Amino acid sequence: MTEITTSGVTRRGLLGVFAATALIAAPTYSNAFGLLKGAGDIRRIRMYSGRTGESLDTIYWIEGEYIPEVLKEINYFMRDWRSNDATNIDARTVDIMAASHRLMDVSEPYMLLSGYRCPATNAMLRSKSRGVARNSLHMKGQAADLRLKSRSVGQMAKAAAACASGGVGKYSRSNFVHMDCGPVRTWGG
């Protein structure tokens, strides 16, 4: 089972790496769902939460299949930290995040600012900011707000937009990028 850790790669993720027979050295990223096609492929996600103090570094997809136990760990990690509610995070969103991370060629994990939001949390945030959508994809487990210290908002947004697989919002003043698996679109500055 994947573990949420304070640092390092999880045991299951490490075993997955050894189980994978080959990695594609230079994959094409026409979209996030075509990420790493072929035998021996893996998909990895690395994140930490400043709100909960938790970290996640795991392989969630091997040889063309998602690992259900790992997706459950991702669901929990990306929960609404205010209410402790969790939902099934759409794997397409995780794919976009992982593909964008790979395109940026960074080892630093994402800082997760917001994953799933329960309706009450979304309503509270909406009452404080015009930038929160009434029917936010966060409430469906289809969006994440992310930050990297080593990359600018512009660099992150460009990598996510290159995946051509969902929405990408730039929030330069707040220093984060929104990525979702909804319709392909961009916004913000």
Dist. CA 24–CA 35, nearest whole Å = 10
pLDDT in tens, 131-161: 888 899 999 999 999 999 999 999 999 999 9
Confidence category of residue 41, pLDDT binned at 50, 70, 90 = confident
pLDDT band at 130 (very low <50, low <70, confident <90, very high): confident
Burial class (CB in 10 A: 0-12, 13-18, 19+), 31: middle
In-domain check, residue 31: yes
Q: Does 5 fall in a domain?
A: no
Q: Is residue 85 part of a domain?
A: yes
- Give the chain's length: 189
For the record, the structure tokens of 9 come out as: 């790669």
Residue 1 has pLDDT above 90, yes or no: no
Is pTM beyond 0.75 here?
yes
Domain contains 130? yes
Read off the pLDDT of residues 97-109 as tens digits, 9 standing for 90 and up.
Answer: 999 999 999 999 9
Res. 173: pLDDT tops 90 = yes
Domain count, the chain: 1
What pLDDT digit, counting tens, does each position of 75-89 carry? 999 999 999 999 999
Instruction: Assign residue 136 the CATH number of its domain.
Output: 3.30.1380.10
Tracing tokens 């990598």 back to the chain, one arrives at 159
Return the ∠ at Cα 157 (arms to 155 and 159), rounded to 5°. 70
Range of the domain at 35: 11-188
CA distance 77 to 64: 23
- Per-residue model confidence (pLDDT) at position 14: 39
